A and B are shown apart, each in its own frame.
Chain A
Amino acid sequence: MMNATIAKLAAQALLGRRRFILLLAFPVLLIGLVALVAALTDGDAAFQILPGLGYPLVLPLVAILAASSVLGPEVDDGSIVYLLSKPVSRHGIATSKWVVALGATLVAGALPILVAALVTGDTTRAFALFVGAAVAGTTYSALFLAVSAVTRHAVIASLMFVLIWEGLLGNLFSGVAWLSVGQWGLRIGHEISSELPDPANLPWAIAASVVVTVAGVFFAGDRLRSFTLRGED
């Protein structure tokens, strides 16, 4: 299923030239801010930044950046036809690209959350949030890869899902938690540390995360099977 060459090309598209700087900016910003606040005030005040800013904003943004840049540029400049004309399974292409996006999301999104949470003390709480972030990051990257395979405006569409659906509406209507990737991750993290909120029930959170991840990667491959290249609109 995996194809090492495609994964390597995707990693180059993600990290090549100076593009890794933007990806690197997120963890630096997050850890720097949390460390600064923890040094000036106390660990608990600093920890509030993570569920308030790091988890709902930085993690999905890293996932969006990673998932859209392993697939988006090739679709944008049309060079994806050369890749699709090779005798490689389209699902293999989607899976390889997803693995790269997943790796980037975990390293630049979930890992900094762990580091930042460890800075604030309380190891259990830090690992709980990390598990939540890893689960949510996995689901996010698959979901956003599927979105990138559907529309050219993948970044904005994904941002609207995260910021408006999960963020804005999620704060107003608690029922949104049942259909929110971030909340599923938090629910799974809640099993480790009860300091995390308890939005939905656990079997639902696990099942929904797995289904969205698998369906997202499969759907991305399926979209590549019947791919039409269009001009700029």
Chain B
Amino acid sequence: MSESTTPGTGRSGVIHDLGYRRYDGPREGTGAIARTLFLTGLRHAYGLERSGKSKVMPFLLLGMSLLPAAIIVGVVVLTGLRSLPVTYAGYTSQTQLLVSLFAAAQAPVLFSRDLRHRSIVLYAARPLSSAAFGFVRWLSMSVALLAFMVIPTLLMFVGALLAGLDKSDQLSDLYKAVVLQVFLAALVAGITGLVSSVSLRRGFAVVGSVMVLIVLTGVVTAVQNIAQSQGSDSVSVGAGLFSPWSLYSGLGNAWDAGTRVPVSVDGAWVPAYVLVLLLVAAGCVLGLVARFRKVGSR
């Protein structure tokens, strides 16, 4: 059916002619595939372009995390407070349950489904390698998580400006919060992605992610508080290295962004926190890429 298929971009070994209809126009490269995959992943993380039922959970959680922000703005406006009762970074930390649930609920959508139904082989047959597929999925999840945290932050920020609070204070607070949220999103997306790409059953992936994000954080917080009350401050700070949320709170505390920790993080602990966060995030991304490369080559 295709006697002389002219490869438009000069790449070889790509099956474009699937026997349906001839196309001689310009072809976009691998970058376009990655871009489309990224946008589709981002939409799927919120259930957009999917059935109504899959929109319920992400938007319910987003609504729940917006509600307290709206109430805070209302209180500030009505009572004429001169500052927000909670900082932006502190707000994300206090709604960590919702962020964790969103990550645990939506990571299997992006990372498990293609593996469970073996549709990964269809992606692997295209020029984008399955390792890059894993990376792009991680990017989608990170940005989706970041949006989940930034949207309530922005609502509070706009409310604060409209209520006439000091602009430069709010801007520096917002800047700190968003930088912290970027790091946290990358880390949490990596962890939940790795968990969901390894345990393909939906329930197990969700419980596994919850275990890392919520149970582990609970354990670390308990250890931190006990160590603090026993007077061993370095144990308390050191325990903070072992869960994503305590890393976030610790860095927020060190940077004076208004997150609460039992013992304040300072000195050599700050680079240690940054290093652990970056190493774990990078390790998770590498693990994800390796996992998708292995599955895609089968």
CB-CB nearest 9 A-B residue pairs: A233-B51, A68-B203, A155-B206, A156-B105, A155-B203, A233-B53, A53-B218, A65-B207, A72-B203
Spot the interface stretch: B178-186, B221-229, B274-282.
Answer: B221-229
Number of B interface residues in the complex (CB < 8 A): 33
Spot the interface stretch: A158-166, A197-205, A207-215.
Answer: A158-166
Number of A interface residues in the complex (CB < 8 A): 37
CB contact between A57 and one of B201, B208, B214 (< 8 Å): that residue: B214
Q: Is the CB of B206 within 8 A of A53?
A: no
Interface members, chain A 22-53 (any B CB < 8 Å): 22, 25-26, 29, 33, 37, 40-41, 45, 48-49, 52-53
Residue numbers in B under 8 Å from A49 (CB-CB): 222
Of chain B, the residue at the smallest CB distance from A151 is B53
Q: Is the CB of A233 within 8 A of B54?
A: yes
| With known contacts A53-B222, A232-B113, A233-B51, A154–B215 Cβ distance under 8 A | no
Supply 16 further A-B pairs (C-beta < 8 A) apart from A22-B204, A163-B97. A19-B204, A22-B207, A37-B223, A45-B226, A45-B229, A52-B222, A53-B218, A53-B222, A73-B203, A153-B57, A155-B203, A160-B101, A164-B98, A167-B97, A232-B113, A232-B117
Q: Is the CB of B219 within 8 A of A65?
A: no
Q: List 16 A-B contacts (CB under 8 A).
A: A19-B201, A19-B204, A26-B211, A26-B215, A33-B222, A33-B223, A37-B222, A45-B229, A53-B215, A72-B203, A155-B202, A156-B57, A159-B104, A159-B206, A163-B101, A232-B117
Q: Is the CB of A69 within 8 A of B203?
A: yes
Residue numbers in B under 8 Å from A37 (CB-CB): 222-223, 226
